[in-house]
Amino acid sequence: MDIIAGLKSKDNNEAYRLLLLLEQHSAESSELYGCFTDFIGLLKSKSSFVQVRGFRLACAQARWDTEKRLEQNLDALFAALYAAKPTAARQCLAALQNVLRWRPELAGTIAAGLDGMDLDKYKDSMRPLIEKDMAELRACL
């Protein structure tokens, strides 16, 4: 199975199951690090579901990122975060915790990226949740 095609599947349940499987595999092995560029490429999708999958999987490679690809692509990751719908933004913020765990030297860049978030675009019902997620991420800095 082509994993990128699977992540782009219109069957969101199937694609989500694949995402979880790939995240688990990424936690245990560097095998998917070779797909990093493909994961970043998913950020360009019109589908916010696909974008989030790419974001999460790119962040899941932090442990294996010996070539500093995350650092080179933080602008693309933050652009996706800034454009994300509220629930997608929350998933992206959670994924950044994995980056901080394995790449603590990126803390300053991530903090600056958080400072660039425009929370006014979110409804009052979602803003406190996103602020909480941001605070949790900042606690890891």
Alpha-carbon gap, residue 84 to 86, rounded angstroms: 6
Average predicted confidence (pLDDT) for the chain? 96
Which range marks the domain in which residue 103 is found? 3-139
Number of domains in the chain: 1
Mean per-residue pLDDT for 83-99?
Answer: 96
Residues 100/141, Cβ–Cβ less than 8 Å: yes
pLDDT digits (tens, 9 = 90+) for 41-55: 999 999 999 999 999
Q: How confident is the model at residue 1 (pLDDT cuts 50, 70, 90)?
A: low
pLDDT digits (tens, 9 = 90+) for 110-131: 999 999 999 999 999 999 999 9
CB count within 10 Å of CB 34 equals 10
| CATH code of 42's domain | 1.25.10.10
